[in-house]
Amino acid sequence: MHNESETEPMDQEALLVTAEARRLATSGDGARIRQAARLSVAEVAAAVGVDRVTVARWETGERRPTGEPALRYAALIGALARQAEVQA
């Protein structure tokens, strides 16, 4: 029987990616990578599936990315960082 107070366990990979999303967002690295790619907060928010205010709050440290949006943010920022390395 499923207890309503329990949440679904997060697998280790998702946990690691969530931690990376939080590091990227709150360290300023995510904003720097986004800006270097010449993308707006609104464009990243649309790609991640959240409101632009949410991404802005992540990037100022006011909030932390969680759940699927955190995974999508980490994947997007990671891909932008890799793309910048290739172009350098």
pTM here? 0.84
What is the mean pLDDT of the segment spanning 77-86?
91
Res 6: pLDDT = 64
- Reported as a single tens digit per residue, the pLDDT across 63-79 is 999 999 999 999 999 99
Alpha-carbon distance of 13 to 70, in angstroms, equals: 13
pLDDT band at 1 (very low <50, low <70, confident <90, very high): very low
Residue 20, phi then psi, degrees to nearest 5: -65, -40
**Is residue 14 packed enough to be buried (19+ CB in 10 Å), middle (13-18) or exposed (0-12)?**
middle
- Reported as a single tens digit per residue, the pLDDT across 27-52 is 999 999 999 999 999 999 999 999 99
Residue 72 CB neighbour total at 10 angstroms: 18
- Reported as a single tens digit per residue, the pLDDT across 14-25 is 999 999 999 999
Q: Which two tokens stand for residue 37?
A: 């790619």
